[in-house]
Copies of this chain bind each other. A is one copy, B any other.
Amino acid sequence: MSIKVGIYGYGNLGRGVECALRQNPDMELVAVFTRRDPSTVKTVFDDTVVASVDEAERYVDCIDVMVLCGGSATDLPEQTPAMARLFNVVDSFDTHAAIPQHFAAVDAAATATGHTALISVGWDPGLFSLNRVLAEAILPAGAGYTFWGKGVSQGHSDAVRRIEGVLDARQYTIPVPAALEAVRRGDQPSLTTRQKHTRECFVVAKEGADLARIEREIVTMPHYFDEYDTTVHFISAEEMNREHSGIPHGGRVIRTGKTGREQESTQVMEFGLTLDSNPEFTASVLVAYARAAVRLHREGAVGCKTVLDVPPAYLSALEGDTLRRTML
């Protein structure tokens, strides 16, 4: 019996989920739900059904899990609790500071209606969180680090685009090699924001714009750039399209710990991702956890959970004995 999936919200992430579902023969896409006029939406695959978000409620009996693909700023805080009243849900809510509040809202909705919800599923939060918890539990006497990149930060790219005179911009976050090296050696360094990452911006400016002013506005921008060493490159629109149209990202979670009688042994655990497409990978994580949400629900689990609550075997379509025989 295949798992029936809905996609709620249809941007890059929703398209990624549409593609990822095709790689999982035990799952099938029932419909994409959009706020736009469904007749205007072009899907990745021609046979994908598109419906209006207003119709979602009619699908309660034929969708096992709804994958929420909206943004964390305004969409998910409203959509995930609302959908958790109707369906089992999975989202990729990624505003770290607001997770407890989002968890509480989704938990109340899911618990009241007997659904299973998994929030903050992706790579950070998500797989990186899993590795932080795993590594800290195993190496309690140690220090943990998260590095992001090299990759495109959408938030920082948007911030640069809002500067007067900027037509287009792409911002890359890059780990500082010396910091990575010191961490991997087991030095357990204290690193400032500036020592961990650098930022590199590629900017298409309006003709005649004051480039020096744009650069100054970027590198001094509070919160986004002022605590970093930032490099700004002005390029043509053609170069932007040719060289910077992808959405690569990645990063690594590293923990080094000491063990032994005198804490004389250094142990290093590292989990890293190198992604050609950030939204497609996040979509692939969402799909694996959508399977787990349905498994949890069938076992009677109710309420809001995170990746920290999911046994790894639940992500796989394979049975326990097959996993033990072939993967353990």
A residues within 8 Å of B by Cβ?
16, 19-20, 23-24, 44-45, 96, 99-100, 103, 120, 125, 127, 129-134, 136-141, 184, 250, 257, 259-261, 264-277, 280-281, 283-285, 288, 291, 306-313, 315-317, 320-321, 323-325, 327-328
Contact = CB atoms under 8 A, between A and B. Distances in A.
A138 B259 contact: no
A285 B138 contact: yes
A20 B316 contact: no
A159 to B, nearest CB: 25
Contact of A327 (B132, B275, B316): B132
Chain copies in complex? 2
Count chain B CB atoms within 10 A of each CB in A96, A99, A277, A284 and give the residue with the most. A284
Contact of A325 (B100, B250, B310): B100
B324 A306 contact: yes
Contact of A280 (B96, B99, B267, B328): B267
A265 B277 contact: yes
A275 B284 contact: no
22 contacts: A16-B259, A19-B260, A96-B328, A127-B269, A129-B328, A130-B134, A130-B312, A131-B271, A132-B327, A133-B323, A134-B312, A137-B315, A138-B284, A259-B284, A260-B277, A266-B276, A267-B280, A267-B284, A270-B271, A309-B320, A310-B311, A310-B312
A304 to B, nearest CB: 10
A309 B267 CA distance: 25
Given A100-B325, A133-B316, A285-B138, A277 B259 contact: yes
Given A100-B325, A138-B285, A141-B23, A280 B265 contact: yes
- Going nearest first, the 8 A-B pairs with the smallest beta carbon separation are A137-B315, A265-B276, A265-B277, A308-B313, A259-B280, A268-B274, A137-B288, A129-B328
B309 A313 contact: yes
